[in-house]
Amino acid sequence: METDTTTSFIVATSVADIRRDPDPASELVTQALMNVPAIVGEVAGEWTQIQLPDYSGWIRTSELELPIVRGVCDGDEGTCGVALPYSVVVTVPEAPVYVDAEGDEKLTDLYLSTVLPYINLTHPQRIRIALPGEAEGWISREMVDLRSNSELYPLQDIAVVTNYAKAFLGVPYLWGGNSWRGIDCSGFVQLCYRMGGNIIPRDADQQHDFLAHSIDRQHMQAGDLIFFGTKSITHVGLALNAHEFIHAEGQDFHRVIIHSFDPHHPDYHARLDSIVWGIKRVR
């Protein structure tokens, strides 16, 4: 696929690796979910430099497509290209997309917070959705919400944020990851808060600087973000209550796990307890 710098593209695969340099061995700086917009820049071989809503880096050019234009139109099968006021939003950690309205043949998987246009809502169990590259598939109604394009991530209770976080327990740690396949500490809290209605930056130090409301440790409560580091911020976790926090831990446990600041708790984490940089409240 040819790209040019005057056109916006979208990510065409369920989750795409974004690297620091145009090299498969380069650092994975983040990932982008299907249908996320991307402004293209320089092209180097099979790689294209892109600007995402929250990051920049290099993606394989084959993982980009022109924006989806299919949608529901009166009297036809959804090919007129009229923009729809609603989209489906994936509300579970991982959701299969099927080839047909019936049957178990799977086309791909989508991941939490992915947004796609729908084509048909008439089937009782599955919704027909538009995919990049003029493709389509079917997804279970139970795994998505139909939401207004003007409010894809409505503000929800903090319990929604922490419940999504706990649903990721055991998911493997992946530097730069931001999906059920693998996730890092800042991608984890960013994703959970996106589903709760707050858009925050991608990296932990950016999140710390973005959030204005600092909290004393004795006042920590569910939903607060805890930043860790000695000379700089190197880690972030999400408070579940006054002493427990959940985080994607990549040094010793290599997965999403719950730890505590209480020295008498079996999951006390002494090292992190000693390097709390600060605590910020998102709202």
- Residues with catalytic annotation? 185, 235, 247
As separate numbers, helices (DSSP H) first and strands (DSSP E) second, the chain gives 4, 23
Which long-range CB contacts under 8 A does 231-234 form with residues at least 24 apart? Answer: 232/205, 233/204, 233/205, 233/208, 233/277, 234/204
Strands (E), 204-275: 213-214, 225-229, 233-239, 244-249, 255-260
What gap in Å lies between CA 54 and CA 109, rounded to an integer?
23
> Alpha-carbon distance 161 to 167, whole Å?
10
Distance CA 184, CA 30 (A): 9
How far is Cα 229 from Cα 209, in angstroms, rounded to an integer? 14
Distance of CA 179 to the CA centre of its chain: 6
Q: Which two tokens stand for residue 281?
A: 């409240």
Sheet with 225-229: list strands edge to edge: 213-214, 276-281, 225-229, 233-239, 244-249, 255-260
- Nearest C-alpha neighbor of 212 from the set 202, 222, 228, 200: 200
Rounded Cα–Cα distance for residues 145 and 269 (Å): 37
Rounded to an integer, what distance in angstroms lies between the CA atom of residue 235 and that of residue 204?
6
> What is the sign of the dihedral through the CA atoms of 148, 153, 159 and 162?
positive
